[in-house]
Copies of this chain bind each other. A is one copy, B any other.
Amino acid sequence: MGNTFGHLFRITTYGESHGGGVGVVIDGCPPLVEISEAEIQVELDRRRPGQSKITTPRKETDTCEILSGVFEGKTTGTPISILVRNKDARSQDYSEMVQTYRPSHADATYDAKYGIRNWQGGGRSSARETIGRVAAGAIAKKILHIVNHVEVIGYVKKIQDIEATVDPDAVTMEQVESNIVRCPDLTCADRMIDRIEAIGREGDSIGGVVECVVRNVPKGLGVPVFDRLEADIAKGVMSLPATKGFEIGSGFAGTLMTGSEHNDEFYTDEDGEIRTRTNRSGGTQGGISNGENIIIRVAFKPTATIRKEQNTVTQDGEETTLAAKGRHDPCVLPRAVPMVEAMVALVLCDHLLRYYGQCKVV
């Protein structure tokens, strides 16, 4: 195990960068959900390489095929298998990586653990593995939307030190998708794009922060004490490649405040609903959603594979240098946005089913 995520809405992914294909099996999906390959493709296209001048120029169309679990356009409650064939296998680009370990990449640890490694394009540790997550996330989003008009919206909050100003309560998917870096603050977006292009030209890379908001969350999701909603979300996003940190609500900045400043005071709104005036909690209290917007942030390190020459060793421990060829993203953030959304949506959908049951939720 290790490639399955979730308890009731449960996904299992498979596949390496090269080989037959990558995909996902979704087990526990509620029946009677209308879903099409086209809807899933929309999310995959947000993730795929070659979508803009600031992503890797590799051309992968990543066309998905639903193999099972959908009948006459509706889910049947049985496992949904989605396959994306691999293409465009320029595995010669990776030939130097057969022997040489890329710094801060998973080559050495896979060898240490398994004693074998599919060295083509990073194998299982390639970001290509996230295709299955994003495909499953598309279905999770659909279910969340049907049940309570739940919206999951991610965006680039920071590229290096360039920080966007975004109102998580108001941001729209249209704003996110209005530019290639997926930053709804358009002034910042331009600066981010310039920065990424510049660093790419140098053969180097940069990282940043994705923020993700979930709106219209039903109260009561999350199961103490270990399956707190934020704990499951933390696990989900920290299982994405290149992540180094996670925050919910006030996050690390909240540690600078006093309790009287940080606490979210309760009030009763015009509909008689108990609400909080502020949202430093980030949408959960005691690990259970409180109906306020869930707001999380994820730190992504600069892409490990760079064209600049670095010191490293071979599989046999001999010291050497490496300047990666291939076609790599100078910054993963724009493509990471749908990945973060997917993981957040999967966690919420799983907890929705734990609360309402598989067959009674939709």
Chain A residues with CB under 8 Å of chain B are: 1-5, 7-8, 10, 12-16, 19-23, 25, 27-28, 31-32, 65-69, 71, 74-81, 83, 101, 103-106, 108-110, 112-118, 123-125, 129, 158, 160-161, 199, 204-209, 219-220, 222-228, 230-232, 234-236, 238-239, 241, 243-252, 254-268, 272, 274, 276, 280-282, 284-291, 299-306, 308, 310-313, 317-319, 353-361
Please indicate the chain B residues that have their CB under 8 angstroms from the CB of A67 in the complex: 14-15, 19-21, 23, 83
Please indicate the chain B residues that have their CB under 8 angstroms from the CB of A247 in the complex: 244-246, 252, 299
Please indicate the chain B residues that have their CB under 8 angstroms from the CB of A207 in the complex: 254-257, 262
Shortest Cβ gap from A60 to chain B (Å): 16
Contact indicator A219/B113 (Cβ below 8 Å): yes
A-B contact pairs, 16 of them (CB 8 A): A22-B68, A23-B67, A104-B263, A106-B286, A108-B290, A109-B219, A109-B220, A109-B288, A112-B291, A204-B258, A244-B252, A246-B247, A255-B299, A260-B308, A268-B318, A356-B357
Please indicate the chain B residues that have their CB under 8 angstroms from the CB of A110 in the complex: 286, 288
Write the chain B residue with the least CB distance to A305: B259
Contact indicator A103/B306 (Cβ below 8 Å): no
Please indicate the chain B residues that have their CB under 8 angstroms from the CB of A243 in the complex: 230
Please indicate the chain B residues that have their CB under 8 angstroms from the CB of A305 in the complex: 259
State in angstroms the CA–CA spacing of A267 and B108 once bound together.
12
Contact indicator B251/A245 (Cβ below 8 Å): yes
State in angstroms the CA–CA spacing of A24 and B251 once bound together.
29
Out of B287, B312, B360, name the residue touching A265 (CB < 8 Å).
B312
State in angstroms the CA–CA spacing of A2 and B69 once bound together.
14
Contact indicator B209/A259 (Cβ below 8 Å): no
Please indicate the chain B residues that have their CB under 8 angstroms from the CB of A76 in the complex: 16, 114, 116-118, 123-124
Contact indicator B25/A14 (Cβ below 8 Å): yes
State in angstroms the CA–CA spacing of A106 and B32 once bound together.
18
Out of B125, B267, B301, B311, name the residue touching A313 (CB < 8 Å).
B267
- Sort A-B residue pairs by CB-CB distance and give the 5 closest, nearest first: A106-B286, A2-B223, A20-B67, A205-B259, A235-B235
Main secondary structure of the interface of A (DSSP, over half): mixed
Shortest Cβ gap from A180 to chain B (Å): 19
Number of copies: 4
Q: Given A266-B108, A286-B105, is A79 in contact with B259 using a C-beta cutoff of 8 Å?
A: no
Most buried by B among A2, A254, A361: A2
Shortest Cβ gap from A87 to chain B (Å): 14
Contact indicator A250/B258 (Cβ below 8 Å): no
Contact indicator A254/B313 (Cβ below 8 Å): no
Shortest Cβ gap from A360 to chain B (Å): 6
Please indicate the chain B residues that have their CB under 8 angstroms from the CB of A1 in the complex: 7-8, 10, 27-28, 223, 227
Write the chain B residue with the least CB distance to A205: B259
Write the chain B residue with the least CB distance to A328: B259
Shortest Cβ gap from A76 to chain B (Å): 5
State in angstroms the CA–CA spacing of A123 and B78 once bound together.
9
Contact indicator A303/B357 (Cβ below 8 Å): no
State in angstroms the CA–CA spacing of A101 and B275 once bound together.
11
State in angstroms the CA–CA spacing of A279 and B85 once bound together.
36
Contact indicator B8/A28 (Cβ below 8 Å): no
